A and B are shown apart, each in its own frame.
Chain A
Amino acid sequence: MSKQEITLSVNGATHELHVEPRTLLVTALREELGYTGANVGCETARCGACTVRVNGDAIKSCMQFAVQLDGAEIETVEGLAEDGNLAPLQAQFQAHHGLQCGFCTPGMLMTADTYLKDAENPSREEIREAIEGNLCRCTGYHNIVDAIEATLTEGAPTNE
């Protein structure tokens, strides 16, 4: 089928690309544009490893065709750090051992980062619910919830 020309803004940079209509957003990000942060796990919108932000909302990028998002603003995990410094949430994941193999981490961070934008004093239960669309095979989630909670209460980790 004829390729479509689309424009995607990724972490503020504008990209024009030609894609087959059936190209998934995650494939376009990884293979066409080199943003390999979003991982491909299940490809069926279950695991959340491919989560990115689209126009401000967390979305599983394996469940969208790139053509649907012509003109959209995409944010990926690569855009979280500023000037080479980990964002507070990322630093808290590090401080609390919120990752082991790290495969789920980019998606987990994008879901949690989006959630934190308007979370007010959530309980641990609410934090768990907020990340229910992201599976982690390693950590058992406790440390991830700790990291998210700590970001809310103290921002970046305080030096001990």
Chain B
Amino acid sequence: MYANDFEYYRATSVAEAVELLVSNEGAEPMAGSHGLLPRMRTGEEAPPVLVDINGIDGLRSIEETEAGLSIGALTTHAEIARSELVQTHAPALAVAAQAVGDIQVRNGGSIGGNLAHGDPRADLPAAVLALGGSVSVTGPDGSSSIDATELFHGDFKTEVGDHEIVTAVEIPVAANTASTYVKYRNPLSGYPLIGVGTWVQTDDGGETIEAARVAATGNLVRSMRLEEVENALIGSAVDKSTIDAAVAEAAVDEELYRQDPQASAAYCNHLLAVRTAEALDTVLAIETN
């Protein structure tokens, strides 16, 4: 099926993009189109106006800031996956970006689009949630920041306003931390059936977990933090029994899973526990047997 016909505008600045969104009823920004185009093909979306933001300078970079990393919204998954800065300071994000689709898709899709799309199956949200990230947005009233925990409403809806452009993704960086992302691919779609992002911070001796964030994505209604798992980790010793106790909490209520005849909630919860264990083994560097 053809995509719907639409009016096309190319913005050369964030201000111009916002202006075009405000002045055109129903207009949507377009980055890599790898999220939009498949849905326009099936008729799930039919935006009358698309504002192409690919021509905006300065949105495609990975920079170190005082707080951590700032990643421009148009940076592609492939660029993030091969960035030494991201590999070093935000490994969960590098691993998640590398887990997206295949090389052509990683060259096509952008981090801003991946997060703003609000696809509950997307990989990057679990990494950004685990890393405590946020997105910078600019709209008619100026710029602001949206914490990742506020971002994902499920069903392709996000906290990003209709007239707002995501300009960057901010990832805080701190000492004594480790993070990773573990994906169990849906063999048909390539998207995660379950993906788990994990971040931990220990004391200087590496003996006690001082802070932890764990997030899941995939067959869920939206990408989300798993607070029970986090609570089982925080304040506990870095050892196998802590991981066991945390993994025992890695389950999500049935109504938070999407209906999927091929993957029941019980099956997904099993995958969730196994991937959480794998992720925690990696970040706490504990050998399993």
* A interface residues, Cβ below 8 angstroms from B: 1, 4, 20-22, 43-45, 48, 51, 54, 57-60, 63-65, 67-68, 70, 111, 114-115, 130, 132-134
A115 to B41, CA, bound (A): 29
* Of A1, A48, A58, A130, the contact of B107 (CB 8 Å cutoff): A58
Least Cβ distance of B217 to chain A in Å?
20
Q: Is the CB of A59 within 8 A of B108?
A: yes
Interchain Cβ contacts under 8 Å between A and B, 26 examples: A4-B8, A21-B6, A22-B2, A22-B3, A22-B6, A44-B38, A44-B41, A45-B101, A51-B104, A54-B107, A57-B78, A57-B107, A58-B107, A59-B104, A60-B104, A63-B34, A63-B37, A63-B108, A65-B37, A67-B8, A67-B10, A68-B33, A68-B52, A111-B103, A115-B103, A133-B104
B7 at the interface (CB under 8 A from A): yes
Q: Is the CB of B105 within 8 A of A133?
A: yes
How many pairs of residues, A versus B, come closer than 8 Å at their CB atoms? 77
Q: Is the CB of A133 within 8 A of B33?
A: no
A45 to B33, CA, bound (A): 11
Q: Is the CB of B33 within 8 A of A64?
A: yes
Task: Give the top 3 A-B pairs by smallest Cβ distance, nearest first.
Answer: A133-B102, A21-B8, A57-B107
Least Cβ distance of B45 to chain A in Å?
13
Least Cβ distance of B119 to chain A in Å?
14
A-side contacts of B103, CB under 8 Å? 58, 111, 114-115, 130, 132-133
- Nearest to B3 among chain A residues (CB) is A22
A22 to B45, CA, bound (A): 14
A21 to B30, CA, bound (A): 12
* Of B7, B34, B50, B104, the contact of A48 (CB 8 Å cutoff): B104
Least Cβ distance of A131 to chain B in Å?
8
Q: Is the CB of B5 within 8 A of A67?
A: no
* Of B2, B6, B78, the contact of A1 (CB 8 Å cutoff): B6
B264 at the interface (CB under 8 A from A): no
B-side contacts of A67, CB under 8 Å? 8, 10, 52
A57 to B75, CA, bound (A): 13
* B interface residues, Cβ below 8 angstroms from A: 2-8, 10, 30, 33-34, 37-38, 40-41, 50, 52, 54, 76, 78, 101-105, 107-108
B-side contacts of A59, CB under 8 Å? 104, 107-108
- Nearest to B109 among chain A residues (CB) is A63
B-side contacts of A1, CB under 8 Å? 5-8
A4 to B54, CA, bound (A): 16
* Of B7, B10, B34, B78, the contact of A70 (CB 8 Å cutoff): B10
A59 to B106, CA, bound (A): 9
- Nearest to B5 among chain A residues (CB) is A1
A-side contacts of B76, CB under 8 Å? 57
Least Cβ distance of B261 to chain A in Å?
21
A60 to B106, CA, bound (A): 10
Q: Is the CB of B104 within 8 A of A43?
A: no
Known: A4-B8, A22-B2, A63-B34. A68 touches B101 (CB 8 A): no
- Nearest to A118 among chain B residues (CB) is B82
A57 to B194, CA, bound (A): 29
B-side contacts of A60, CB under 8 Å? 104-105, 108
A-side contacts of B5, CB under 8 Å? 1, 20-22
B-side contacts of A70, CB under 8 Å? 10
Q: Is the CB of B7 within 8 A of A58?
A: no
A-side contacts of B107, CB under 8 Å? 54, 57-59
A115 to B4, CA, bound (A): 34
- Nearest to A60 among chain B residues (CB) is B104
A29 to B70, CA, bound (A): 36
Question: Which of A21, A63, A111 counts the most B-chain CB atoms under 10 A from its CB?
Answer: A63
- Nearest to A67 among chain B residues (CB) is B8
Q: Is the CB of A58 within 8 A of B104?
A: yes
Least Cβ distance of A66 to chain B in Å?
10
A-side contacts of B30, CB under 8 Å? 68
- Nearest to A115 among chain B residues (CB) is B103
A-side contacts of B40, CB under 8 Å? 22
